[in-house]
Structure 1
Amino acid sequence: MFDILIKNAKLRNYKELKDIGIKGGRIVEISDNISDKSEKIIEAHGNLVTESFVNPHLHLCKVYTLMKMNEEALKDYHGENMGRAMTAIELAAEIKKQYDEKWIIPNVRKALNLAVENGVTHIRAFADVDSKAKLVGVKSLLKVKEEFKDKLYLEVVAFPQDGIVKEPGTYELIKEAIKLGADVVGGIPWIELTEEDEKEHIDKMFEIAKEFNKPISMLVDDAGDPGLKTLEMLAVKTLKEGFEGKVLAHHARAMSMYSTPYLMKLIELLKKARIGIITDPHTGPLHARVKELISEGALVALGQDDISDAYYPYGRNNMLEVAFLASHILWMTTQKDMEILYDMITINGAKSMGIKDFEIKEGNLANLVILKEKNILESLRNHEKPQYVIFKGNIL
């Protein structure tokens, strides 16, 4: 007796339709025609059934804050080849003076309900920690994380958006955030004013990660400046500290301006350090060199990044929509490209977050979506909500 039996599913790695038997939260059988009884039978009608979607980068404490401020930060972040990105961050910081759980938590619930509807079951969520936000964002996300634990997996990142050296006292606040229950140590070293301060920023965040045995996510080189090299600093530090496979790098937009010889050396360094790159090409005019990273065998995934805040006015927590946009921005439009894009919002995202037993295989956790379409082309074209979303073997 299965808990759920999915009939006539189109799987990405099989030519023929398959049945999927789920019990105890796991996939226990994939075969041509399962006749066993089940508590619930879902007829897929040949539609695409895949792993659920993963969003490894979302500034969740800021969702739906755009209407609380003017558009100056948005203009600076998107304009002048991102030359004023640091100014944009400084302008956007004003909203944190108003931080209050009373409005943050409802906004977060709205964003996470959208995630569930759109089949996003795993999210790495950033919460700003600094002299203005204090620990309000972290505490808000931790509360909502508990509320949604049966609907999605949420990792909370304690994120020093305005710097460590630039923002005295933030180091201690990040430490306190981890003690409260934050899952990941954040970082944004490029925001510091000197190379020495950038290295100190990275060193300080590694201190905390090592003390509490936590993974690291850092936003690096997020501006139109080819002189920014904090991604290289992060990779070197990762190797030095033996943190291979426990570090994620986000944005790396300055990479778009690097010379090819330096980029190739950097990619080899990233592979050696087992650092994945999370790119969000829809939220800024520059982006990481995705095609080169992929062709050289580096791990790359897509993130939503923002939902209606100072950096991006749109967003629905819909990773199919993110992949659809990336297909245009990156000119990844062949069938092979579409398969890669789909990996970037499913299995690559899971790998980047260190999620185990994620792929559709017997014995793995049942985190699935049953789409309304029969192939990836139509799924990306329409980027609609799935017919069914299954998390840990439960139909949401």
Structure 2
Amino acid sequence: MKNDILIRNAQLLNTPGKKMSIAITQGKIAVIAEKIDGQAEVEIDAKGMLVTESFVNAHLHLCKVYTLQMMDEAALKDYHSDGMGKAMTAIELAAQVKEKYHHSWILPNVRKALAQAVLYGCTHVRAFADVDSKARLEGVQALIQARDEFTGIVDIQVVAFAQDGIIREPGAKELMHQAMELGADVVGGIPWIEYTEADIREHVCIIFDLAVEFNKDVSMLVDDAGDAGLRTLETMAVETIRRGWQGRALAHHARAMALYPTPYFQKISALLRQAQMGVVSDPHTGPLHARVRELLANGNLVCLGQDDISDAYYPFGRNNMLEVAFLCSHLLWFTSRQDIHTLYDMVTVNAARCMGLKDFQIKVGAPANLVVLSQPDVVEALRFHEAPLYTVSHGKLVDAEKYHHIAIG
């Protein structure tokens, strides 16, 4: 059988010093060997450069991309204030832009951000769309349309996200149900935004009720403020176990973890393992972040996310997960060679595990999602954080030129 794609002279992570070839047929990796005879429809000479799994972004507020220009910087200043004590105020200020929400202008922004993902070798994104009385279902509709448009290029998991709360936000519960009926892939919550402990517990229960009803995974932004007393990560983990949703729930941010007393942190770490819950950290978008190194040392699953692209919370971002890893190397002081390899895993295979992706690795029989980089090793890849030379998504070579025009449009 003639191969669809044949990559020669590839440096793989697990075969240092050897140049390997990879044959791709019918969307899957068919052969990995030092030498593969025959030809293919598409042949790529990697010239000794690094070839790895493609990049994965487990956290992106995709409905908000490029909205910073539509508002002032009050929310940005509060969210980035020392100690993150004004995080709730920042969210309330950021909500103002949603009064203007309409899928007609959200969708072009979404397309641009996803085109950048393509250019930077990111083939899978967990994308949040706000659902509340202001945003209504405009963001969800735009993201679902984009998901369909980018099928086979970027896999998008659309998260129906109750950004402004459920109990405190009139109509949010009903809108969340409608969003799931429309076809959202993940149920998203933010329990810490509620006013009381009772409301927090009810918020978490409602999210899991929806997850069970629609048989969907859960993502929640937990403890995203400078308050050592926040315990929504614990509440989420306990409910995950109670509902039998182990391996299907993902925690995002958990910034208050930075302030937890060590004994409580150790208890939470163990609880996360029992719940089989990963944590997505975004250290570049806020002054506090989860205790990434300690979580990893304890055997917890951790990955990195882009979080924001030019919105009320962060002025930069371009869906370049190598850039995210580079920034986090400085913020987390992950600078040894092993640290840098760990960062790389957190934007590839670990992020894929957090999103529930199966067989996301370079092995025979796995779906062919990979990148050919412009550097020979992981350290140099992070140093330059350049776009890949080639991206293979779902077994097909991506037409980078096509998406370049969308990305700059």
Structure 2 length-normalised TM:
0.96
CA distance in 1, matches of 2:176, 2:33: 48
**Structural mapping, 1:14-25, within 5 Å:** 14-15=15-16, 16-25=18-27
Could you give the per-residue CA deviations for residues 83-102 of structure 1, whole angstroms, max 9, x where no partner exists? 00000000000000000112
Q: 1:177 aligns with which of 176, 179, 195?
A: 179
Look up the equivalent residue of 1:31 and give its one-letter code: A
Residue segments in structure 2 that go unaligned for 5+ positions in a row: 399-409
Of all paired residues, the percent bearing the same amino acid is 59
Alpha-carbon offset, residue 21 of structure 1 = 0.5
Could you give the per-residue CA deviations for residues 195-223 of structure 1, whole angstroms, max 9, x where no partner exists? 11100100011111111100000000000
Alpha-carbon offset, residue 80 of structure 1 = 2.7
Partner in structure 2 of residue 262 of structure 1:
264
Find out whether 1:315 has 2:317 as its counterpart.
yes
CA distance in 1, matches of 2:228, 2:380: 38
CA distance in 1, matches of 2:243, 2:152: 35
Alpha-carbon offset, residue 44 of structure 1 = 0.3
Partner in structure 2 of residue 53 of structure 1:
55
Partner in structure 2 of residue 109 of structure 1:
111
Residue segments in structure 1 that go unaligned for 5+ positions in a row: none
**Structural mapping, 1:171-320, within 5 Å:** 171-320=173-322
Look up the equivalent residue of 2:11 and give its one-letter code: K
Look up the equivalent residue of 1:2 and give its one-letter code: N
Contact kept? 2:82, 2:287, Cα under 8 Å: no
Partner SS state of residue 266, structure 1: helix
Partner SS state of residue 286, structure 1: coil
Look up the equivalent residue of 1:126 and give its one-letter code: F
CA distance in 2, matches of 1:340, 1:39: 35
Partner SS state of residue 7, structure 1: strand
Partner SS state of residue 342, structure 1: helix
Alpha-carbon offset, residue 33 of structure 1 = 0.8
Q: 2:66 aligns with which of 64, 67, 75?
A: 64
Measured on the aligned residues, the alpha-carbon RMSD in Å equals 0.5
Could you give the per-residue CA deviations for residues 139-198 of structure 1, whole angstroms, max 9, x where no partner exists? 011111111112110010000000001102101111100000000000000000111110
Could you give the per-residue CA deviations for residues 270-317 of structure 1, whole angstroms, max 9, x where no partner exists? 000000000000000000000000000000000000000000000010
Partner in structure 2 of residue 327 of structure 1:
329
Could you give the per-residue CA deviations for residues 304-345 of structure 1, whole angstroms, max 9, x where no partner exists? 000000000000100000000000000000000001000000
Partner in structure 1 of residue 403 of structure 2:
none
Structure 1 ranges of 4+ moved more than 3 A: none
Partner in structure 1 of residue 124 of structure 2:
122
CA distance in 2, matches of 1:78, 1:336: 30
Look up the equivalent residue of 2:6 and give its one-letter code: L
CA distance in 2, matches of 1:180, 1:280: 29
Look up the equivalent residue of 1:3 and give its one-letter code: D
Partner SS state of residue 288, structure 2: coil
Paired positions, count: 396
Find out whether 1:12 has 2:3 as its counterpart.
no
